[in-house]
Amino acid sequence: MTKTRRLFGTDGIRGKANTAPMTAGIALRLGQAAGLMFTHGAHRHKVVIGKDTRLSGYLIEPALTAGFISAGMDVTLLGPLPTPAIAMLTRSLRADLGVMISASHNAYEDNGIKLFGPDGSKLSDEKELEIEALMDSDFGDRLAAPAELGRASRLDDAGGRYIEAVKASFPRGLRLDDLTIVVDCANGAAYRVAPSVLWELGATVIAVGVTPDGFNINRGCGSTVPEYLCSQVVQHGAHIGIALDGDADRLIVADENGEVVDGDQILALIARSWIASGQLRGGGVVATVMSNLGLERLMEEYGLRLHRTQVGDRYVAERMRETGANLGGEQSGHVIMSDFATTGDGLLAALQVLAVMVESGRPASHVCRVFKPLPQRLKNVRFAGVSPLGDAAVKHAIAGASARLASTGRILIRESGTEPLVRVMAEGEDEALVAEVVDGLCACIAAVERAKDA
């Protein structure tokens, strides 16, 4: 029987700040348990900790620090930096463990904890289960003796190290001198490093979402509010707009006309560029079940395969390692390029898009429209208590909807890994039918929910 993770979801631990599981007490115990798990061998053990700009980072960071120190690990504090920077610095600094404190695209009230192994990859489900089991046990006698406690220090040039690593991914000899770029940092973790990278490569940079105050992360800006980016691109007459989320591991683009380019198109653009240069490996691209059928058909045109995984960029990364692929991602804008990083990196992906623009001399509206997407519709239905997906009426409705789309499309129904939501997605060649199917399924799920309260 498969064990269920109690604390960890699809992307670490996440919840409302100062409420279980996102409390100082749980963070302390997590630090102790993870610290004990990753202290093996005679070397001095180290963990690096980064965060985004949420107010509650001041609560979680010292609690984790205390936990790791009590387990005998030295702590290197990196301050506000993107999630991919933490993954990179975990490897670069030869740390045993990396930690990112962030709830990604969520509002400031939430926070989260993501753990990276010494190779910079997110921990597996199995490792997270081990940590949970250890947290539930009595490990007091295994904590460090007074003389073996860890120490904490800050790395002042962490941002500079990440900036140089990102710039190294941009083709030598290319510059961004002729481009005006709007970059929306979501008042989040990349508010300093993202504008700096673009400016140092020669671009005229219009930076927005770069005044974090602890409360405004993702508020009215960032990759989850692309209309703001689009308006800024049009207002400033920019050549392209780049929007990151709160921890900068995802990217959404706006072309010069203020039209949104999603993660599927970004994946397709990079894949086509790498196919031409002979850089693409693994016989295809890895994406999730949410990616558009148009992307899958494009890969087939090149004689390649679209490998699909469950939602979550760490599952994409795992499949990439299994298949030998060096490109994968999600429709939401997570793009993983294993030649450069172990996890999704919005800034790295943006530089690949910009490189194609510079090399081709063509506008974003041209280079970013790689395939024609099939009509796709996604809606969420909130639920309380037991998931409605086990209800007989819902199962019957899903079967009927699948039969209606038949071979012209597909349906995907899943629970969110971070919120009590059922996500209902359908796509197909008939846009009206797709909309009708999604609306009908959502109505059925909502009716089952109302019946619970009756």
Query: Is the omega angle on the peptide bond into residue 21 within 30 degrees of 0, that is, cis?
Result: yes
Q: How far is CA 179 from the centre of its chain?
A: 27
At 397, give phi and psi (nearest 5°).
-65, -40
Q: How far is CA 328 from the centre of its chain?
A: 12
Q: Which active-site residues does the annotation give?
A: 104
CA distance 171 to 139: 50
| Beta carbons of 63 and 113 less than 8 angstroms apart | no
Neighbours of 151 (CB within 10 A): 11
Collapsed DSSP state (helix, strand, coil) of residue 280: coil
Q: What share of the chain is helix, strand, coil (3-state, %, to 5)?
A: 40, 20, 40
- What lies within 8 Å, CB to CB, of 402 at 6+ separation is 410, 411
CA distance 252 to 349: 10
At 95, give phi and psi (nearest 5°).
-80, 155
CA-CA-CA-CA dihedral for 3, 86, 53, 344, to nearest 10: -70
Amino acid at 403: A
